[in-house]
């Protein structure tokens, strides 16, 4: 017997519903509603080979509606991904299983990105689709030509980030991006008309998308829609799939009740009856499994032909190097030469300028870096000569004008990093990290090499005032696991921070950079001291330390001035530059003890104290901000908020006196 398309879709429905039932938690509604659409997509259109899940020219699939994770796991099992066993599905949502509550990048083959925070998937997919076009521009149609498919729900389209993503994708004419919208008019609180009246079709069309509407349970209609979406390559396509959430559940389908809880034994039995499914939990009829596995082999010949083309291609070495993400062998030497030049020339520049100088060397030394900014190119100094702009329909350039879309930019950078072939970096003001927090969190959770160039890093930006002056931002970023935060003090530390960020395989970085000029403080660059996180920049003279001053970025200069004042009064002060708390925390105890010393410690940073006590062990030992900044020239603000050599010396003396009394 040959499996009907309906039977194949029901295999998804019951794997999902039974797994949710077994876990006693999860979301059956979405997989049951989108089972027909997924069956068409995965058995008739998508190009992938479960035997080679990392085939670089595979189509990318993103389950933006990540709560419907069981749809993805069911499909992967049915297609024949070796790691997605029936046991894994039986253990849905259990500790140690690859079938987590939401799809987690790195847990199972075929999961191209972590989703769950609604809207992230569709926005990440923009980066995946852009990465495809950019790789195509570099390596040609022979090696690169794939689609990015997204399943998004009502929630994804309500999220603000979807606006940025849709707008950017439409503008860039990402014609190989196809979004399948689970248009079921239901979210958690009930019908979507409780909270939205937007005509999504008009919205997407206005952003430059093709829009197709289809009955999401008519498999042939979905097939025809995908056929035409794939043929129209000049614009991205939205396929609005009208579906019934929880399709098949006799009393709960079409309602919010089926969104996020197990059906319950009675309802599940009713669904079996309604859909004519006579098999038990986790049982798949042989003909359905056979048909699915056959579908899983659909693209094998294409993959083999692609491998032959790669083997014969003159671009093979370049392609493989790009996909590996490795920096060229001479990269370190080139950056070393640049650092040596800094020591000769001793430039007094803002660290944002130092970053631009470093990028000039970096972008010439590797083709992998892709720059960009959320409409602050001239402020972030992220564009270097000759990068060329990424334009609609022309993707050969290396610089993306992301527009005023910080969150969309961060998610797109995640997509570029996930796609492979690129090291994305992008700029905005440090204070707007809050606007992209959702995507930055996913960079860190997924362990992606994405580099955030965040300038105007304190009250030092001056006149723009407190809306633009970060005070809490460094602390929030430092609290984010797996994110490296750098606040370099001069041009050498800035170059070192770039070198470390680029060398990371499994974590993103933030470079917090000053608007104001800073002197060159380092007199050597043989060892990358920023890699130590913190180091003694200036040891106390003439005997053991009385106090250790710890500072970052623009305040290292101030700490040095404070140390000089103290010295004049006979108090021996060492100055520690700590460009990265995370890297310092990773050093061995001996290094940490040597750097921090046993004398009282005072931290100096033009931000809130939060987090510094773990190094100073006394929250009073701090010179920095207590609240928001103000609008005035930078010099006046530093004076007004008491971040200067006098206050550093005063706090240090208090700390020394307290220690003496103790
Ligand atoms: C950013 C974010 N906010 C809230 C949630 C919690 N949440 C999960 S699913 C959902 C409703 C989604 O509705 P829809 O996309 O229509 O999914 P459906 O109910 O149709 O499956 C919400 C609010 C989330 N996962 N992410
Ligand atoms: Mg919905």
Ligand 1 atom at shortest distance from the alpha carbon of 30: 21
Residues 152 and 240: their CA atoms lie apart, in Å, by 10
Question: Can you tell me the mean pLDDT for 460-480?
Answer: 98
Testing ligand 1's pocket by substitution, the residue of 29, 38, 67 carrying the most ligand atoms inside 8 A of its CB is 67
Q: Which residues contact 277 (CB under 8 A, 6 or more apart)?
A: 10, 13, 14, 271
In 28-175, the DSSP E strands lie at: 60-63, 148-153
116 ligand 1 Cβ < 6 A: yes
Average pLDDT value for residue range 635-659: 98
Is residue 188 within 6 Å of ligand 1 at its C-beta?
yes
Decide if pLDDT at 532 tops 80. yes
- Confidence check: pLDDT of 1 > 90: no
b/e 80-90 (16+ beta carbons within 10 angstroms → b): bbeebeeebbb
Tens-digit pLDDT profile for residues 242-269:
999 999 999 999 999 999 999 999 999 9
pLDDT higher than threshold 80 for residue 177 = yes
Ligand 2 mean position, distance from CA 256 (Å): 8
pLDDT at 106 over 90: yes
Mean of the per-residue pLDDT values for the chain? 98
Cβ neighbours, 10 Å, residue 268: 22
According to the model, what pLDDT value does residue 156 have? 98
Q: What is the pLDDT of residue 442?
A: 99
Distance 116 CA to ligand 1 centre (A): 8
Q: Is 153 in the pocket of ligand 1 (CB under 6 A)?
A: yes
How far apart are alpha carbons 165 and 296 in whole angstroms? 30
What is the predicted pLDDT for the residue at 435?
98
**Ligand 1 pocket mutation, candidates 104, 115, 116, 155, criterion most atoms within 8 A of CB:** 155
**pLDDT recorded at residue 349:** 98
Run of H or E residues at 556: helix 555-568
- What's the mean pLDDT in 496-510? 98
The model's pTM: 0.98
Opening angle at CA 336, ends 335 and 338, nearest 5? 65
Number of helices (H), then strands (E), belonging to the chain: the values are: 26, 20
> What residues have a C-beta under 5 A from ligand 2, the ion?
153-154, 184, 186-187
Residue 411 and residue 165 in contact, taking contact as beta carbons nearer than 8 Å: yes
Ligand 1 pocket, 216 CB below 6 A?
no
On the question of pLDDT at 2 being above 90, the answer is no
Please indicate whether residue 59, judged by its CB atom, sits closer than 6 Å to ligand 1.
no
Give me the sheet containing 484-486, strands edge to edge.
Answer: 399-401, 369-373, 423-429, 451-455, 509-513, 484-486
Q: What are phi and psi of 216, to 5 degrees?
A: -70, 0
The answer to whether 585 and 615 are in contact (CB under 8 A) is no
Output the CA 184–ligand 2 centroid distance in Å: 5
Angle at 362 between CA 164 and CA 138, to 5 degrees: 60
Ligand nearest to the backbone CA of 151: 1
Choose one of 187, 243, 407, 442 to mutate for the ligand 1 pocket test, by most ligand atoms within 8 angstroms of C-beta.
187
pLDDT-based confidence at residue 662 (cuts at 50, 70, 90): confident
Nearest to 616 by CA among 534, 514, 540: 534
Q: In the prediction, which pLDDT does 320 show?
A: 98
Q: Does 407 contact ligand 1 (Cβ within 6 A)?
A: no
SS (H, E, C) 223-286: HHHHHHHHHCCCCCEEEEEECCCCCCCCCCCCCHHHCCCCCCHHHHHHHHHHHCCCCCCCCCCH
246 lines ligand 1 (CB under 6 A): no
Asked whether 118 lines ligand 1 (CB < 6 A), one says yes
Residue 201 Cα to ligand 1 middle (Å): 20
156 C-alpha to ligand 1 centroid (Å): 7
Q: Which of 451, 421, 450, 452 is nearest to 435 (CA)?
A: 452
Active site residues: 406
253 closest CA partner among 232, 268, 238: 268
364 has pLDDT over 90: yes
Separation CA 590–CA 592 (nearest Å): 5
Yes or no: say if 483 and 449 are a contact pair by the CB < 8 Å rule: no
Provide mean pLDDT across the span 172-179.
Answer: 98
Q: Is the minimum distance from the CB of 71 to ligand 1 under 6 angstroms? A: no
Rounded to the nearest angstrom, the distance between the alpha carbon of 245 and the centre of ligand 1 is 13
First to last CA, the chain: 86
């Amino acid at each position: 017997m040959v499996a009907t398309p309906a039977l194949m879709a029901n295999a998804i429905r019951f794997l999902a519903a039974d797994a949710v039932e077994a876990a006693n938690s999860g979301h059956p509604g979405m997989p049951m509603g989108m089972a027909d659409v997924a069956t068409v997509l995965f058995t008739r259109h998508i190009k992938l080979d479960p035997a080679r899940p990392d085939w670089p020219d595979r189509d990318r699939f993103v389950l933006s509606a990540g709560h419907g994770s069981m749809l993805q796991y069911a499909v992967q099992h049915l297609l024949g991904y070796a790691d997605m066993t029936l046991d894994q599905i039986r253990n849905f949502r259990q500790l140690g299983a690859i079938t987590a509550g939401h799809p987690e990048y790195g847990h199972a083959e075929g999961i191209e990105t972590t989703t769950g925070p609604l809207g992230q998937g569709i926005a990440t997919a923009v980066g995946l689709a852009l990465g495809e076009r950019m790789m195509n521009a570099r390596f040609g149609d022979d090696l690169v030509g794939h689609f990015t498919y997204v399943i998004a729900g009502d929630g994804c389209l309500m999220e603000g980030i979807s606006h940025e993503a849709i707008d950017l994708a439409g503008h860039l004419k990402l014609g190989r991006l196809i979004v399948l919208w689970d248009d079921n008019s239901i979210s958690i609180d009930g019908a979507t008309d409780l909270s939205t009246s937007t005509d999504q079709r008009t919205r997407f069309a206005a952003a430059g998308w093709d829009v197709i509407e289809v009955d999401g349970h008519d498999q042939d209609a979905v097939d025809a829609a995908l056929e035409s979406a794939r043929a129209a390559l000049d614009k991205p396509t939205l396929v609005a799939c009208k579906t019934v959430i929880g399709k098949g559940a006799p009393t709960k389908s079409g309602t919010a009740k089926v969104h996020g809880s197990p059906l319950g034994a009675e309802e599940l039995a009713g669904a079996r009856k309604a859909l004519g499914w006579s098999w038990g939990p986790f049982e798949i009829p042989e003909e359905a499994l056979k048909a699915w596995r056959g579908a899983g082999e659909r693209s094998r010949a294409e993959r083999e032909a692609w491998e032959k083309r790669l083997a014969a291609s003159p671009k093979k070495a370049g392609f493989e190097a790009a996909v590996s993400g490795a920096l060229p062998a001479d990269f370190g030497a080139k950056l070393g030469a640049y650092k040596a030049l800094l020591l000769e020339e001793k430039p007094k520049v803002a660290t944002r300028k130092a970053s631009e100088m470093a990028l000039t060397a970096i972008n010439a030394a590797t083709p992998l870096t892709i720059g960009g900014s959320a409409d602050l190119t001239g402020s972030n100094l992220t564009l270097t000569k000759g990068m060329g702009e990424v334009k609609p329909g022309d993707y050969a350039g290396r610089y993306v004008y992301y527009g005023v879309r910080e969150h969309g930019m961060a998610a797109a950078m995640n997509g570029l990093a996930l796609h492979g072939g690129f090291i994305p970096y992008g700029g905005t003001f440090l204070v707007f990290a809050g606007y992209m927090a959702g995507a930055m969190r996913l960079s860190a959770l997924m362990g992606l090499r994405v580099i955030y160039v965040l300038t105007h890093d304190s009250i030092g930006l001056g006149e723009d005032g407190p809306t633009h002056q970060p005070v809490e931002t460094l602390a929030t970023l430092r609290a984010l696991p797996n994110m490296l935060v750098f606040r370099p003090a001069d041009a050498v530390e800035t170059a070192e921070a770039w070198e470390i960020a680029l060398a990371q395989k499994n974590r993103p970085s933030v470079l917090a950079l000053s608007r104001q000029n800073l002197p060159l403080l380092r007199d050597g660059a043989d060892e990358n001291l920023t890699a130590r996180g913190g180091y003694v920049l200036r040891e106390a003279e003439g005997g053991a330390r009385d106090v250790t001053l710890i500072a970052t970025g623009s305040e290292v200069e101030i700490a040095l001035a404070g140390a000089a004042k103290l010295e004049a009064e006979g108090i021996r002060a060492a100055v520690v530059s700590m460009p990265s708390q995370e890297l310092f925390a990773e050093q061995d105890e001996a290094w940490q003890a040597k750097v921090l010393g046993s004398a009282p410690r005072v931290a100096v940073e033009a931000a809130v104290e939060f987090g510094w006590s773990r190094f100073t062990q006394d929250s009073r030992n701090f010179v920095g901000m207590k609240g928001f900044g103000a609008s005035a020239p930078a010099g006046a603000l530093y004076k007004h908020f008491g971040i200067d050599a006098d206050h550093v010396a005063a706090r240090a003396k208090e700390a020394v006196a307290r220690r003496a009394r103790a």
